[in-house]
Amino acid sequence: MPRGRKKQDTESAVQRVVNADQLVALVKWSNEKRGQISELSGEIGERVKYAADNGNLHRGVFALVCKLKRMDEYKRNDFLRQFNLYLDMCREKALFGQEHAGDLLDATENEEESEEEDIAAKNAAAIEKGIKPLPDEEKEFDDSTSSKPSRKRAVNVGDAPSATRIQ
């Protein structure tokens, strides 16, 4: 017989069993609590779904933030540091495949903005140079000196028709 072991008679060995009343009470309590947990989980799920559908909530990010909130400060900081490091490594090794090159709409808007900035810069340079005075022949221009007078004719206020009648 090995050292340190007492000889036990198989007939005299005591078999330990849970108390029946205690077992039944624990099962009932556990099922009641699981029902409450399911009810609360359902409420949480409804609120998160509503926020996702109507408030632009990202469910995955929300779940991660909830997990981060439950973490110890040091573990959370280490997790975030490692997470960013892992993301950088995965992007470097193209684990996520070909990354999106960028939003075409943003690129178009940026090109339009740069064109507008170029035009504005040219206008500003022209203004800084100054506006050249008109030549003498153009200074005197009006309908009476033009070979093609304006189609809009000046209307004498006294000759204009009126919608009101004086009686």
Tokens of 163: 């919608």
Q: What pLDDT does 114 receive? A: 81
Q: What pLDDT does 35 receive? A: 93
Q: What pLDDT does 115 receive? A: 83
76: Cβ contacts below 8 Å, ≥ 6 apart: 68
Q: What pLDDT does 151 receive? A: 63
Q: At what angle do helices 59-70 and 20-55 cross, to 10 degrees?
A: 130
Q: What are the mean pLDDT values of the chain's consecutive 10-residue runs (167 residues total)?
A: 57 81 94 94 94 94 94 95 93 82 64 81 77 66 62 56 57
Q: What pLDDT does 21 receive? A: 94
Give the Cα separation of 63 and 48 in Å (integer): 10
